[in-house]
Copies of this chain bind each other. A is one copy, B any other.
Amino acid sequence: MSDIAMIEAAAARLAGHARRTPLLSSPFLDEIAGRRVLVKAECLQHTGSFKFRGGWSALSALEPARRAQGVMAYSSGNHAQGVALAAARHGAPAVIVMPADAPQLKIENTRALGAEVVLYDRATEDRDAIGARLADERGLTLIRPFDEPLVIAGQGTTGLEIAEQAAEEGVTSADVLTCCGGGGLTAGIALALEARAPGLRVRPVEPVGFDDTARSLAAGEIRSNAALSGSICDAIVTPQPGRITFPILARLCGPGLAVTDAEALRAMALAFLRLKIVLEPGGAVALAAALFRPDALEGDAVICTASGGNVDPPLFARALAEAAD
């Protein structure tokens, strides 16, 4: 059961460990959007994405003896780094199961954060079987990336901060756009805002062609994506909404939005130019919707999460070059 009490408890555990990220803005972005745009810069969180919140929330809630045996995650991306750093700071072993063809930089980063990386061959090996064997042999606790109440609660602390920071800006009624993959961040923020800022309504944003959450919300039941690759927004391409996250989204979120890869790249370039932050494509889709879908939004202000910034330099340079054209 995920609720505001769990989020408040997670916030207490995260205090002094996670960053309270700033809510940024620029008059230049306001002009493009035709309304005020407030950007929650979670790319500035430890490990470069909000995932550290969920990782810390889960690790810090484990019974110490169990935690000391270690944790495990499946991830080639932001969740891996968030869990790895949270584990290292708790002095707990972390095993991250990654595909052998994951980017070398991500493998190296995860190792450098203190985790043991176990590689598997996507074509010939069964990830779940490898994970189950490791968990069994070593007594590791699996930290799921989104369908886990403690992780949702951790991501929800972002929503507590949004509620406070938006009120400081005088914004009490607005759409809150989230970069949405499995829905952990979206569900957590929605629960936090339901309790703390009911005039703020969460709306998930996804890549065109990978809008499983938007279609699931429209249908009232879980829908899947036809493809699992083909977008540069790798961080938020998931097969379908989670079994725990979706009912929360269905109860609390407004209609989903979808943006193209080109729009995500343009949003990355504008975040560089106007906010001085680094976003990865999957972390820029909410800003893209805020800027380029004005007719789909209502009100004088829009809030969006900028959920991560773990992007390789060549892709970032491409975003800058395309924006200059």
- Contacts from A to B (Cβ < 8 Å): 16, 19-22, 24, 27-28, 31, 41, 43-44, 48, 85, 109, 112-113, 168, 269, 272-279, 309, 313-314, 316-317, 320-321, 323-324
Q: Which residues of B contact A324 (CB under 8 A)?
A: 313-314
Q: How many Å lie between the Cα of A156 and that of B48 in the bound state?
A: 29
Provide a sorted-by-A list of 22 A–B residue pairs whose CB atoms are within 8 angstroms.
Answer: A16-B168, A22-B22, A24-B44, A27-B112, A27-B113, A28-B109, A28-B112, A31-B112, A43-B276, A44-B277, A269-B313, A272-B278, A272-B313, A276-B279, A277-B277, A277-B278, A278-B278, A313-B320, A313-B324, A316-B320, A317-B317, A317-B321
Q: Give the shortest distance, in Å, between A81 (CB) and chain B (any CB).
A: 11
Q: How many Å lie between the Cα of A309 and that of B44 in the bound state?
A: 15
Q: How many Å lie between the Cα of A109 and that of B21 in the bound state?
A: 26
| Given A19-B24, A28-B109; 20 other pairs, CB 8 A cutoff | A19-B22, A22-B22, A27-B85, A27-B112, A31-B112, A43-B276, A44-B277, A48-B274, A48-B276, A269-B313, A272-B278, A272-B313, A273-B313, A276-B279, A277-B278, A313-B320, A313-B323, A314-B324, A316-B320, A317-B317
Partner among B19, B314, B316 whose Cβ is within 8 Å of the Cβ of A272? B316
Partner among B27, B168, B275 whose Cβ is within 8 Å of the Cβ of A44? B275
Q: How many Å lie between the Cα of A24 and that of B46 in the bound state?
A: 9
Closest to A279 in B: B276
Q: Which residues of B contact A20 (CB under 8 A)?
A: 22
Q: Which residues of B contact A28 (CB under 8 A)?
A: 109, 112
Interface of A is mostly: helix
Closest to A25 in B: B46
Q: Give the shortest distance, in Å, between A315 (CB) and chain B (any CB).
A: 10
Q: Give the shortest distance, in Å, between A235 (CB) and chain B (any CB).
A: 13
Q: How many Å lie between the Cα of A67 and that of B16 in the bound state?
A: 42
Q: Which residues of B contact A275 (CB under 8 A)?
A: 44
Q: Which residues of B contact A279 (CB under 8 A)?
A: 276
Q: Which residues of B contact A27 (CB under 8 A)?
A: 85, 112-113
Q: Give the shortest distance, in Å, between A23 (CB) and chain B (any CB).
A: 9
Q: Which residues of B contact A316 (CB under 8 A)?
A: 272, 320
Q: How many Å lie between the Cα of A284 and that of B276 in the bound state?
A: 13
Q: How many Å lie between the Cα of A323 and that of B272 in the bound state?
A: 18
Q: Which residues of B contact A269 (CB under 8 A)?
A: 313
Closest to A45 in B: B276
Partner among B44, B109, B277, B320 whose Cβ is within 8 Å of the Cβ of A317? B320
Q: Give the shortest distance, in Å, between A322 (CB) and chain B (any CB).
A: 10
Q: Give the shortest distance, in Å, between A89 (CB) and chain B (any CB).
A: 10
Q: How many Å lie between the Cα of A316 and that of B319 in the bound state?
A: 12
Q: How many Å lie between the Cα of A277 and that of B277 in the bound state?
A: 5
Q: Which residues of B contact A48 (CB under 8 A)?
A: 274, 276
